[in-house]
Structure 1
Amino acid sequence: MIREATPDDVPVIHAMIGELAAYERAPEAAQATEAQLKEALFGAQPAAFALIAEADDAPVGFALWFRHFSTWTGTQGVYLEDLFVRPEARGDGHGKALLAALAEICVTRGYERFEWSVLDWNEPSIGFYRSIGARPMDEWTVFRLTGEELHNLAATSRVNAA
């Protein structure tokens, strides 16, 4: 079963984010707190949304996503930030069910793109994504600014952010 997350799910989402970070070989990178997740998902202006996969009334996976906008299509889309299914529940269709639920959100709302990133070494996931018809965007490279570089660039801003 796939359902929308509720505020009561924040602790389990937080725990699964930690499990995902460990799987992705970066456990120290998962720094978000439960309070931050609760605000991001259920605050006055949610920045993200989440779905929960359940088996036998217990959460076994989640998808955390947000809306983005394409200037080319003129429509919003879904960006999947995290997809995770606990190891003991893998192979039971929960990952595909979470992706199908997000695809349904796209189709129902008229969104033309559903996108996500995957680590180059994660062959099991890459194979799974290809099996459902997803195509890698090989001609695109993800760039990221964080830490000192982010602050350095911001210091050059000429926007009056009063």
Structure 2
Amino acid sequence: MEFGIRALREDDAERVAEMAAALSAHEGMPPPPFGSADVILYGFGENKRFDGIVAETESGLIGYTLFIDSFNIGVGTPGIHMLDLYVEDRARGTGAGRALMGAVAAETIARGGSWIVWQSLPTNKVAIDFYTHIGSRQYQAADFELSGPTLAEMAAESPWR
């Protein structure tokens, strides 16, 4: 399968949102509240919060990755936090995932970074096998989240704003 890699464009928004839902389904999760309007709102313009790269064939997009700039105090350098990486089932094994990772690696270096981090559900064997195959190492860190009412309570207690 022939494919190309390029930067995310606004007209990719609907397809990327569909693939984000497919990624959630693959992981056994409900669809995320992340639609095409969110891709446009947060991927472009004054509210931009992430960057993206897509893989496409003549017939359309087959994969995507979204990422943000970050910094690692322990390493003392900037890097990239990859939010999502997804390649459709029909395109797995074609090199599209590796090409997307390579594009993120190149972007990391271009931005003066020296690392990429991301999360994967421990049950996502396809992803873990791919990440191991390309030479990444798995951290032993624990992920935490503060959200919803607890987030609001913490914010309300803070003298910050």
The TM-score, its normalising length taken from structure 2, stands at: 0.92
> Once the two structures are superposed, what CA deviation does each residue of 1:77-96 show, in whole Å capped at 9, x if it has no partner?
11110111111111111111
Given candidates 3, 6, 12, the residue that maps to 2:9 is 6
Q: How far apart are the structure 2 equivalents of 1:124 and 1:22?
A: 13
1:15 aligns with 2:34: no
Q: Map 1:64-79 to 2 at 5 A.
A: 64-79=66-81
Q: How far apart are the structure 2 equivalents of 1:36 and 1:63?
A: 15
Match of 1:152 in 2: 153
1:84 aligns with 2:86: yes
SS of structure 1 residue aligned to 2:129:
helix
Percentage of matched positions with identical amino acids: 32
How many residues are paired up? 158
Q: How far apart are the structure 1 equivalents of 2:48 and 2:77?
A: 19
Instruction: Give 1:73 shift.
Output: 3.5
1:142 aligns with 2:143: yes
Match of 2:27 in 1: 24
The TM-score, its normalising length taken from structure 1, stands at: 0.91
Q: How far apart are the structure 1 equivalents of 2:80 and 2:13?
A: 21
Instruction: Give 1:12 shift.
Output: 0.7
Given candidates 31, 36, 39, the residue that maps to 1:37 is 39
> Once the two structures are superposed, what CA deviation does each residue of 1:36-78 show, in whole Å capped at 9, x if it has no partner?
2211101224210111101225110000111111223343211
Letter in 2 for 1:118: S
How much is the aligned-residue C-alpha RMSD, in angstroms?
A: 1.3
Q: How far apart are the structure 1 equivalents of 2:131 and 2:52?
A: 19
Match of 1:47 in 2: 49
Misfit runs of 4+, over 6 Å:
none
Q: How far apart are the structure 1 equivalents of 2:59 and 2:126?
A: 27
Letter in 1 for 2:106: E
Letter in 1 for 2:36: E
Q: How far apart are the structure 1 equivalents of 2:90 and 2:60?
A: 12
Given candidates 98, 101, 124, the residue that maps to 1:99 is 101
Unmatched runs of 5 consecutive residues or more in structure 2 = none
Q: How far apart are the structure 1 equivalents of 2:12 and 2:135?
A: 30
Letter in 2 for 1:7: E
